[in-house]
Amino acid sequence: MEKKKYTVPALEKGLAIIELLADSDQPLGITDLYTHCGIPKSSIFMILSTLESLKYIEKLPGDKYKLTMKIHHLGTRVLSKLNIRDIALPYMKNLSESLQFTVHLAALEHGRAIYIEKVNGPGYVQFSTKVGQSLPVYCSAVGKALAAFLPDNELDELARSISFEAYTPYTIGTPETFKEFLVSVRESGYAIEDEEGESGIRCIGAPIFDNEGRVTAAISVTALRSELPSNKFGEIGRIVCEHASLISKELGYVSE
């Protein structure tokens, strides 16, 4: 038997009005609201009076109404309590199970990518990476994904601070080459590390954005070269981007 659902009609109407005011580019009056939602004008008047007394809305000249910043402040308080590791972990597990790869979550700290969460792949080969490990941004997929979407001034400062050590013959060696590579990351939405940090290892990473549109973390898959052929980069990259996008949405990010 389906469980009976209980609702509060007055609350539903009040929230409907709040959503209409939030979606509108202009303040709305009682007639405007009635036209959009069909709630009786007498009910709209009482709801508006209640919301105004609680300081959720403001009455303007011409009997028009707009939301105050109180809703924004409530949302900010909710967002401040979000833990990106807790939010990302279910998506990381799903990504690992579906692709059979190891998945990392990283953040930018002091110019380096720091692993803050890891989900091991199910394969026989296990990577020795661990939470808390730091790695250069220029030869890691998560590092490139983090760097590519920084503001220009922050990216310039980061590139100047890097000592480009060669870990393999494929490691990026100059600030100019690094910044040039990041253009392709911004175009595709994902970053590739093709044996640049360690021979035989490939990674694909994508950025995660917060509610203010800033890159706050990156997620990546790691695999052996034989498990991740180059002709699969686009397909796997799109899947990683999809998971990064879902995490971003839970953090409050709204794409343009």
Instruction: Tell me the two tokens of residue 225.
Output: 């070269």
Distances in Å between the Cα of 180 and the Cα atoms of 171, 176, 187 are 14, 6, 12
In this prediction, what percent of the chain has a pLDDT beyond 70? Answer: 95
Locate the DSSP E strands across 152-239: 191-194, 201-209, 215-224
Please check whether residue 79 is in contact with residue 184, taking contact to mean a CB–CB distance below 8 angstroms: no
pLDDT in tens, 140-185: 999 999 999 999 999 999 999 999 999 999 999 999 999 999 999 9
pLDDT surpassing 60 at residue 1: no
pLDDT in tens, 220-237: 999 999 999 999 999 999
Rg of the Cα atoms in the chain: 24
Task: Compute the distance between CA of residue 208 and CA of residue 215 in angstroms, rounded to an integer.
Answer: 6
Question: If pLDDT is split at 50, 70 and 90, which confidence band does 128 have?
Answer: confident
Task: Compute the distance between CA of residue 57 and CA of residue 66 in angstroms, rounded to an integer.
Answer: 6
Task: Compute the distance between CA of residue 223 and CA of residue 125 in angstroms, rounded to an integer.
Answer: 9
pLDDT in tens, 81-93: 668 999 999 999 9
